[in-house]
Every structure is written in structure tokens, then in C-alpha cells.
Amino acid sequence: MFVKKRQINQSGRWSATLVVALTTIALVLTSSASASVVPDSKIAISQTGLHVFSVNGRQFGITTAIHVLSFNGPQYSITVGLAHHEIDGGLQTTSSMCQGTPDCVAAVNGDFFDLNAAGPPGPGDEVGGIIQDCALLHSPEVSHQQVNLDGHTVSNGLNWASTLTVNASTVPITAVNQEIPLSYSNVSLPLAGTLLYTAPYALAIPTLGGRTTYVFSQGDATVSPTTINASATLTFVGSTTQAVRVSSDDVDISAPAGSSLAALQPGDTASLATTSSAGCDDIGGHPILLNQGTVVPVVSGDTYLAKPYARTVIGWTATGVTILMTVDGKDAQSGATVDQLDRVLEALGVVTAIDLDGGNSTTFFAEGRVLNRPSRGNEHPVSTGLLVIRTP
């Protein structure tokens, strides 16, 4: 999805996309007739299998289409998808993310993102934290809500820490795979601290006077060097002040002058340890809608939340059914307010949920086609997605 840079409001909003994509429709998906309920009643949700259906939203004050995907059971799971399998690797439609991923049967868009001024196609700059397949791939750029896809929980931030131990000295890592310096409307983060980059990062390591990039080899290791709750042994290769890209199996660390890394000699070893309690698949969103059955208050005066917009949501029922939902609409004209979203989710029996990107990004791809009506007519490429994976 091509997304123009948007001003960040008081709640820190960016823009991204949601899509649902099914590649083996006939064998995987059961479509039901539109579900219609009266206020305060519950919509019947199947406890097994994967299903796609629509909901009549008029009783909630919503006049646009509502599409829902639900699944439960060990035969399906959700993981984070990256555009072109890279961090800041450009943009890609969510349906093609799914089609390029083994055993993916459905997909929805992921976190908010923005485009920088690097020229077309600009990299999709992720906002929140990303843990994919137990590896920390991106640390949050600003205060941002997160969702643990494995634990079915939401939080107000990503719990993570990464440290490099060199010659008995411990160096805390400030950020992982971030496009820094970061500059958005009302947000300006300088190039600062000790920054770590791994092979999935698609751009060149940012440079600035007084900083050095230290290159480490991970050897023939087959796991990510930032696997959470694990450590990796790295071997120092050399340093540079030039802009470089991370080579396969390497780890590059940008550090300021005076860092203890300056004493390294080629062949020296270091230990990289990364910890997190966020689970093996985690991604950002905004805002948290429901948390263990409680409606979460939102910032008053936030027009994006108070006015109707196209919406994308992920949530879970008390019995563990995963719900992916989109509401069609046009910015500030039609769609759903956050209060209306809460009512629909409660009717679906959802007890924990978070809002993903919406607006022009909202897309629901299933049964080999886009089932909803995107605001701009076509599915737009995005930076990240949520992929529904069927167990082989």
C-alpha cells in the first residue's frame, strides 16, 4: 500500500494496512451467511476450523460492510509477515506476502508504518516492535501498544533487552534494526546510543560523524543472533565509518566514539544476549480496545478514534478463538468509531483486542479475492502483515 506520510496525532498514530488472503480456499475455508444480531446479543462463533463471514453492523450504527475471519485449534497459528521478508524492505501487498510464505492460508495487515523521503519506492518504516519466529527483528521506535500473538495478550509496550558483552564489559543495545535518525511530524529521534543491525535489515547502516560501525560474524549459526532468551557468540571482523549493508550471517553495531568496542581486534569474540517475555510472535498496534474483558479507555479528543474510519482488528474470545475483522469506510466519513468497534467485538464474544492500521489501508482478502471495498479501490502494499499459517 502506498501510504502518504500522515501527521501523528496525540495518540501517536501512523498508517498501514490489513488484508486477509487465502490460497487454498476450497480445502481450508468455510464461508457462512451474514451474521445478524440484535443489540446486546452474541454472534455465534464456531469453535473449530477456519471461517469467513460478514456481520450486519446496522444495530451498532455501522452502515458499511464488516468482514470477519475466525479460527481455533492447533491446525492454525499466526505469525508476523514482512514486506519482501525484510525490515524496512519496501512495501508489498499482504496477499502476496501470504502467497510467498509456505503454508500461509490467510493474511491481514500488521502495524502502522510510514514512508521516508528515500525516493520511490520508499521503505515502509515500522513503528512498533517486531518479534518473528522467536527473533527480535525490530525494537519500538516510539511508545506504542503491542500484541503477543502467541499468548493472546496486549500490552502498552514491548518488553525487551539486548546486550553485547566484550572483554568483560557489557554494552546495552539501544535499538534493533531501526531506521535512525527518525523524523516524522512532531517526532524527531536523533542518531544516538548503540544500534544493532542484523541481516533482515534492508537498508545501509546510518552513519554520522563520531560514530563507527563494528562488523561481527556469526559464523555458520543457523538461528537468528537476536533470538529471544538466548545468546549468540560473535567474532569481530573489522570496523568502518562508511555506510554499509549487513551481510548474511553478520551482525553490525553502530556505536559512538568512546565506546568499549573501539578496543576490539579482529578475531576477538563477543556474546550477544537478547531477552523478552513477549512470546515468539509480537507486533505493534494502536489502541488497545479490550483487555481481558475490560473496555480500555482511549485518549479523548483523538479524532481518528472518535470519528468513523475503515478499521482492522485482531482479537480473541474467552475460549481462545482468534478473530480478524475489518470494517469498510472512508476517513472521517464512514466506517466505525472505536466505541462501535468495541460493541461489535463484544457481540462476537471477544475479550482481548487491539486496533491495527486502518483507513485507506483496510483490506480483507479471502477466497482468492478482495472481499471488502478498500477506500481507494485497490489493495495497497504495506510494511508488515499477520499471516495465518496452517500446520503441515
- Summarised one tens digit per residue, pLDDT across range 351-363 is 999 999 888 888 7
Is there a single domain that holds both residue 77 and residue 225? no
Specify whether 323 is located in the same domain as 237: no
Identify each DSSP E strand in 218-360 by its residue range: 230-240, 250-256, 269-275, 282-285, 288-291, 294-295, 311-317, 322-327, 350-355
pTM surpassing 0.85? yes
Same domain, 126 and 181: no
pLDDT value of residue 301: 82
Beta strands 29-31 and 49-55 are parallel
Residue 168 within any structural domain of the chain:
yes
Q: What is the pLDDT of residue 258?
A: 86
Q: Which among 245, 275, 305 is the end of a domain?
A: 275
Query: Tens digit of pLDDT for each residue in 211-239?
Result: 999 999 998 888 999 999 999 999 999 99
pLDDT score at 378: 83
Total domains present in the chain? 2
205 shares its domain with 266: yes
pLDDT at 6 over 50: no
Residue that is last in its domain, among 242, 275, 308: 275
Domain match, 263 and 366 both: no
Question: Does residue 105 register a pLDDT over 60?
Answer: yes
**Are both 267 and 174 inside the same structural domain?**
yes
Sign (positive or negative) of CA dihedral 105, 108, 111, 112: positive
- Burial pattern 328-352, b for ≥16 Cβ within 10 A else e, equals bbbbeebbbbbebbbbbbbbbbbbb
Domain span at 205: 161-275
Q: Which helix (H) or strand (E) holds 94?
A: helix 94-99
Confidence of residue 36 (pLDDT cuts 50, 70, 90): low
